[in-house]
Structure 1
């Protein structure tokens, strides 16, 4: 089976693609490669450096499934250039979905975001709650979801709303909560927490990439699914880090009291089971840093890199 993976050189894609190849899939990987390409060569892998907005240049005739990861990732980056964000994260998704349906692609998996709900007061944020996205990034995700669901009668459509991802990737990110706090502790021996009571849902990168494999293998599991298994406050994450790394915590006031949480019972009822936790991510990042395999580079910080290298 040939699978098209967009955003394949990104944080999640760089972990997902090797897993797909190990399972025997042929993978056509598409990415702008703003942050580089860390995919190892493989006889069943074709990597094309291409902006997702130019997907008319891609032959879909042999593609049976699409895993669509490409977007301008995270809220601050999405707000840098709203027009670019809408073109990449919404318009390109709409065009790709239309082409896929017209050309007989059977299966479309879309990476949305768990923050499309906005700020909810409910303790259990389930898939049937209203979507009230706050940022350009999340608004594009909501619109893309609606477009994709309109094609459900023509192909299998599976939409994942992931929590904040944590853990190691060849294309690392050090601007997401668990990874960022762990590196602060390792480098500075101190973690600065702004507020700290804000809750964030989390999912390990191995679990979110395993979920995409699970969905490929279970086309009967259609519709929209939350994917996050640990709703933890920022301060609790910092304390968990400091239980593993000798560092102190400094708490300062925050003007951002927003808390996000999600409930993933619907996904669990389908048979998917996570295998890793925030603690696994902390341990793996710590080990990689101490062994010299992970260093703090600008390219691991999306906003800083985009401001300097992409839009600068």
Structure 2
């Protein structure tokens, strides 16, 4: 969305802005002219991933004094909340970590935000709130019955947001249910940088640049055309744009809140992604087949009609080859940086 000349834009607080998706949202905000402040505890994020145009505060979102001080000092007018834990299989093994980092921390953040009079809140949710889905795209009207503590921890926060909005007429929110996020900034300014990645495309491009010997495919006996899991992959920069559109809508229409799927409405199997990475990299990606991970589902695809109609969202990078090329270029850049 183009900047409106002469219109004052409020400062936006981005929690988890040193992480993968958060750092891309920071770029989107800054490029659109929003003053931006980031809070991140750097447990999984990287200080260098925060664009220097943003103000950085190291700390936890559950630190009430720190959050309130930051809001007051910077005149924060809206929040994009990314901070949290995101690995569904890990949540099955360590559920309390997810209820602490996702649900309890979000509750603390909301208390600080409401206490300081901030009234617009964009939340990083997940398609994991749906759990096992029927064949075909899943819509926001479908049943939410998460299969993992990760999904349940996010759904609890969505319900907290709804309750807060009901209790405070001037508060509105947008919960964005991500499907599978992949890729990197096309200008090479940000990308997935964590160690020991569990996301398929990140792991596949690590194989392509020699960081891993082979990719592990977790299950080839799903009820899908080739037996491997099917996912709706959305480019991280398209997702970052959605956050800006959500923020703009909350600011313009404070009487409404939204719950929206974020995906392209079509899926690719694990083997299709491996083939795409092999083609872009110019060499085969070796892989082995392992067992299913706890909480893994066969097929998860978004019905994205609501976000297209309500936000007039039109993705810019919705080709698998484009997502793979950006992911591979970023991985090659990381190799150069660490050489």
Which band: TM-score by shorter chain?
0.7 to 0.9
Deviations 1:76-109 (A, max 9, x none): 4434543332122101212222332343212110
The worse-fitting range, judged by mean Cα deviation, of 183-192 and 135-144 is 183-192
**1:263 counterpart = 2:303:** yes
Are 1:167 and 1:284, in contact at CA under 8 Å, matched by a contact in 2?
yes
Aligned counterparts of 1:83 and 1:207: Cα–Cα separation in 2: 32
**1:239 counterpart = 2:275:** yes
- Give how far 1:20 is off: 1.4
Structure 1 alignment gaps of length 5 or more: 299-312
Aligned counterparts of 2:65 and 2:192: Cα–Cα separation in 1: 26
Deviations 1:244-275 (A, max 9, x none): 23105546363357222221111111201111
Matched length: 294
User: 1:276 pairs with 300, 310, 317, which one?
Assistant: 317
Are 1:198 and 1:233, in contact at CA under 8 Å, matched by a contact in 2?
yes
- Give how far 1:30 is off: 0.5
User: 1:65 pairs with 75, 78, 85, which one?
Assistant: 78
Aligned with 2:63: secondary structure?
helix
- Give how far 1:297 is off: 11
Residue 175 of structure 2 is matched in structure 1 by 159
Deviations 1:99-145 (A, max 9, x none): 32343212110000111111112312100111111222111100000
Aligned counterparts of 2:180 and 2:84: Cα–Cα separation in 1: 15
Moved over 6 A (4+): none
**1:37 counterpart = 2:47:** yes
Residues 29-108 of structure 1 aligned to structure 2 (within 5 Å): 29-35=38-44, 36-38=46-48, 39-42=50-53, 45-59=54-68, 60-61=71-72, 62-79=75-92, 81-108=94-121
| Change in 2 beyond 3 A, CA 1:248/1:99 | closer
Residue 158 of structure 2 is matched in structure 1 by 145
Are 1:53 and 1:87, in contact at CA under 8 Å, matched by a contact in 2?
no
State the TM-score, normalized to the length of structure 1: 0.85
| Change in 2 beyond 3 A, CA 1:285/1:19 | same
Residue 15 of structure 2 is matched in structure 1 by 6
- Give how far 1:170 is off: 4.4
| Change in 2 beyond 3 A, CA 1:203/1:55 | farther
Residues 70-219 of structure 1 aligned to structure 2 (within 5 Å): 70-79=83-92, 81-152=94-165, 153-168=169-184, 169-173=190-194, 174-187=197-210, 191-194=215-218, 195=220, 196-219=227-250
Structure 2 alignment gaps of length 5 or more: 1-9, 185-189, 221-226
Are 2:215 and 2:287, in contact at CA under 8 Å, matched by a contact in 1?
yes
Aligned with 1:30: secondary structure?
strand
State the TM-score, normalized to the length of structure 2: 0.79
